[in-house]
Structures are given as C-alpha cells and as structure tokens.
Structure 1
Amino acid sequence: MRRSKWIIIIIGLGVLIGSGWWLLGHVTTQKAQQVKQTENEQPTFYLHGYGGSARSTDSMIKAAREQKNATQVLTATVRKDGSVDLQGRWLAKTTRPIVQVVFEDNRNPNYQQDGEWFKNVLVAVNRQHSFKRFNVVAHSMGNLTAVYYLLNHAIDKQLPRMAKMVNIAGHFDGIIGMDDQPNQNQVKKDGQPQKMNATYRQLMGLRNQLPAKSIAVLNIYGDLGDGTHSDGRVSNASSQSLRYLVTPGAKTYQEKKFTGKKAQHSQLHENHAVNQTVLAFLW
C-alpha cells in the first residue's frame, strides 16, 4: 500500500510539473504574439522634406504595401494655420497602418513650428483611432520635424510614444551652401560634431529629453563618392551628428551609408536598397 501511495504521489507531482511548464510556455507564447500584434498595429507616419508633397513619400509607402502588407489608412494634410485634415479610414486590426503626412506650408524653415504641427497630426489621428506608440520615417527636413517634436514632447505622457524613427538624409548640423561646406566638419568617435550650428546647439536638449531606451533609431545618409563626403546637399558629418543627440536615450542606434549616384539627397528616398533597409528595420 505504501509503495502504491508513493507511486501515485510521484505520478501526481509529474503531472503538476508538466502542466506548469506547459502553462508557462503557453503564456510566454501568448505574450510574444501580443507584442508582435501590437507592433503590427502601431501606425507609421511618413514625413516629406522641404518643398515636398505626397509624391515625395509615395514610393516608400508603395514598397511597404507591396512587400510588408502595410496599409495606407490616412493622409493627414497640415494647413498653414496648423489645423489638420484627415482623409481615409483606419479600420480596426489593420495590418501595419501608414499615415502619410503632407504639409501645405512645405517650405517653412521654422523647425519648432514644424514639430508642433506634427504634434497636431498625432492628436488628430489619435482622436479618430487611439494608439499608444508609433513610428516615423522622415526625409530631409522631415527629420527636423521629427526631432523637434521629440525635443518638446518626448516626455509628454498625454501623447503617444515614438517607438522607431527612420532618418533619411537628415541635416542636423547644417546644409551645404547655407551654413555648411563639404569637408568642413567632422564627428568624433561618440558622434559629437566638432562644429555646431545654432540648430544643433538647440537640439542638444534631446540628450536629456529622451526617456531611457525609448526609441530605436535608423540613420541613413548618402555619399556621392565625389570627395565631398556628402549627398550633394548634406554632409555626412551633419547627418551622422544625430548619434550624439539620441544615443543617451535611444534603445538602439544604427547608421547605414549608401554610395553612388542613387545616394544623392533627393534620390535616397527613391532608392530601392534604401527602401529594403527601412522595411527590414520597421517590420
């Protein structure tokens, strides 16, 4: 009898332990699926550059639709007074929703204002379809819109949090022909530029504003290979200077340089290889 009781107890313990491991594995799998589902449901906002329009980001959005089953749900047009018009419809459970942002005043050099206008977009979209985290893909001046938004609102708990940021041809520390020249500036090992313009000095506040490990950053820049170490409009040093601004708070930071004629400033967002890199980073 005693032997039989011990056998029953051992079998019972084995069943309990086995059930526990199964339940733990099941819960872990569920959590992983929930995280994946959340990432797939968070919107990605595409920001064009100076003088840009919807056409500026059309090819990137098309690649996302065709290769990653993303869906352009809305076009957000920012009027000159900062108000936002939304066109389209964001249905529940849409896979990888995309919002294309178009600025009516597309030559506004006031980066602080651009950042506030982008905040207006987030508020308007969030009213229609609530979301907690979002991604940004920006080209040229769109990068300044994104980072100035972060400078002023990264810690605002009333707003959604930026999860991933793709920066393409960003002029964070000068534009060639305006306040920069080819081979005039260099970045140190930690990404800090040797020379800082007024905009960059203002953006230095990002080093203290970004919450720890909050954003995954992909910084893409072009080099024509003609000795200027630039994409024709922005020096590599100006683009690479982003690293010093975001690394204290960034979850991850990656840089990717593209070379040749298709790495020209206005061609980077049309570059097939660039699109592949962006899509792999986002999803």
Structure 2
Amino acid sequence: MKHHFSYLTLAATITISLLAGMPLSAHAALSNRFRQSTTATVFFHGYGSGAHAERHMVNAAVNAGVTKTVVSANVDANGHVTFSKKIPRHAINPIVMVNFEDNENTNYSQDGQYVASVLHHLKTVDHIKNVNLEAHSMGNMALAYYFLKNAHNKQMPRVRKQLDLAAPMNGIQGYDLPVNFTVNQQTGKPSAMSANYRQMTQLRHLYPKNQVKILNIYGDVGNRTDNQVDVRSAQSLRYLESSRAKSFREKKITGPGADHVQLHRNPEVDQLLIQFFWGK
C-alpha cells in the first residue's frame, strides 16, 4: 500500500515522538566523546517507507549525546521540500530526517532530484556547507543518482561521509537482480549488471575524488541475503565508488537482526553508524 504523509502529519508525528514516544530527549547533554561540528547528517528511507524508518537510528544518536537538533524534511511528488523548522545557526551535529511522499517511485533519476531538493535547501536556506548522508535500501539508489547529476555541483553542500545500509545496487530480488552473477571480492565488479547498474557505472568517473568516506553495511540472515537484498547486490557498491572514495569499508551483519527491515532497528548498526559519523 502506498503511504502518503502530509507535512503537518509528519511534523506532528516527529514532534510527539521527540517529546514523548522516542526516548529522544531534547534536553540530553552533548557528549564530549563525539566530534562536534556544524555538519548536518541527512537520513533517507527506502521503498514504501518514510521518515519513521529513520527514527530508531536517530533516537540512538540523540540519546548517545551526539546532538540536540533534529529536524524533518518532507519532499512532495514534485520535488518541493518543506522543513519542519530552520536549523539553528551553529547547531552541533544537526540531523535531518527526510520523508519522500512519493515513496514507491522507481524512477531513480527523479529520486535523485528529491535528494537534490533537500541538500540544496540545506545549502541555500540553512547555510550548511558540509553533510553526511545515510540511506536505507532503495534510498541508496536515490543517492547514487543524485551523484550522477550533482557530484560536482557547487550549489550543493560538500558530502563528507556516506553510510549505505542494505543497498540494492545491482538489482532487487524478484525484480531486476541478474541471474547467477558473481562479484569480484577485490574490486566489487559484478559479472552481470542490471540496467540501472550499468548506468551507475558512470560514478566510477563522476563520484567525488578523495572526498567522501563510505561505510557499506549489509545483512546476511544465513542465505546470502537480508531476505530482500542479495549480499552480492550490496557488495557491488564497491565497484561504483571505492576507487574514488577517500576511504571505503564494508561490514556484514548476521543473525536475526540482519533482516532487511531489522537492520535500521539493530543496536549493532546504531553503534557502527554513530562511530562512523561522529566518533573521535
């Protein structure tokens, strides 16, 4: 079922969660265990989902003392973005939870424009110069297509870190995943490529050079998938971006918490995310 979130509904939901439901205490003290900067960290959800899918990870970061500033951004089907509030000047480690109203859109180029709308707003309205990006599932396709058009766009913030979670880069099971392909464990190059993956190979020349640190996290429940994304598809990210990244690291999650939906509710993932984005 397709879910539509009005801006007011989204804002109200997040506000209530911040004040009551999530243990996201707005009064939690910032911890000196973490780097403190004005870099914003932006969370993107996957297919058929919404900003609520990001809440557990954001909750973990706030309760650890990473930040006191969490805002929401709603993007409608036309790419118009509305923020719940302006990010205060000099806010420490602000977090942005993004909601795509058109959350079942498989036109990844358009999804990339949704990402661009959010980041352009951060640069021009909130004067955010640097961002970290996190995406779950199909949100990673939106990020990839964002970079295809905006990797060197000076009107956008500079991307510092990128965390890809359960990224179906070379196709989705039951949809466009190539049959019986293999992945070179050194380069990440798949032996067969989906149509979208072939287009994304342009990133091998377009992705920002020596600028972005990447952490690629994927799950394996015991059958080389997280029940939705094939491990090989996630591993194929390496071929697209690692040669141009400042650093590239992979982490496989196993056990019950490695399930596709459970990955963004997994305490192990929370700790990896917090350390990657903000650890000293």
- For Structure 1 versus Structure 2, the TM-score category normalised by the shorter chain is 0.7 to 0.9
Deviations 1:31-54 (A, max 9, x none): xxxxx65xx211000000001112
1:109 has 2:106 as partner: yes
**Which residue of structure 2 lines up, in the alignment, with residue 20 of structure 1?**
none
- 2:219 maps to which of 219, 222, 234: 222
Return 80-89 or 97-106, whichever deviates more.
80-89
Partner of 1:17: none
TM-score (norm 1): 0.83
Residue 121 of structure 1: SS of its match in structure 2? helix
SS of the counterpart of 1:88? Answer: coil
Count of residues in Structure 1 that have an aligned counterpart in Structure 2: 243
TM-score normalised by the chain length of structure 2: 0.84
How far is 1:72 from its partner? 3.7
**In 1, Cα distance between equivalents of 2:275 and 2:65:** 9
Question: Alignment identity in percent?
Answer: 40
SS of residue matched to 1:254? strand
**Distance between the aligned counterparts of 2:112 and 2:267, measured in 1?**
28
Counterpart in 2 of 1:13? Answer: none
Q: Using the alignment, how far apart are the partners of 1:53 and 1:211 within structure 2?
A: 28
Segments of 5+ residues of structure 1 without an aligned counterpart are 1-35
User: How many angstroms apart in 1 are the aligned matches of 2:120 and 2:208?
Assistant: 20
Q: CA 1:264–1:171 in structure 2 vs 1: closer, same or farther (change >3 Å)?
A: same
Q: Contact conserved, 2:42 with 2:133, CA < 8 A, in 1? A: yes
2:227 is paired with a residue whose SS is coil
The answer on 1:81 being equivalent to 2:84 is no
Paired residue secondary structure (2:208): coil
1:269 aligns with 2:264: yes
Asked whether 1:149 is paired with 2:146, we answer yes
Distance, in Å, in 1 between the alignment partners of 2:131 and 2:266 is: 24
Which of 155, 180, 183 is residue 184 of structure 1 equivalent to?
180
Instruction: Indicate the residue corresponding to 1:257 in structure 2.
Output: 252
> 1:204 maps to which residue?
201
Question: Partner residue of 1:23?
Answer: none
Matches within 5 A, 1:1-283: 37=36, 40-180=37-177, 184-188=180-184, 189-225=186-222, 228-283=223-278
- Cα distance, 1:126 vs structure 2: 2.2
Deviation string 1:232-254 (CA, Å, 9 cap, x unpaired) is 11111100000010012100000
Whole-angstrom CA distance in 1 between matches of 2:76 and 2:276: 31
Contact 1:48 1:140 in 2 (8 A): yes
Distance 1:78 1:256, change over 3 A: same
CA drift at 1:90: 1.3
Root-mean-square deviation (Å): 1.4
Give ranges in structure 2 of 5+ residues lacking alignment: 1-34
Normalized per residue, which structure has more helix?
1
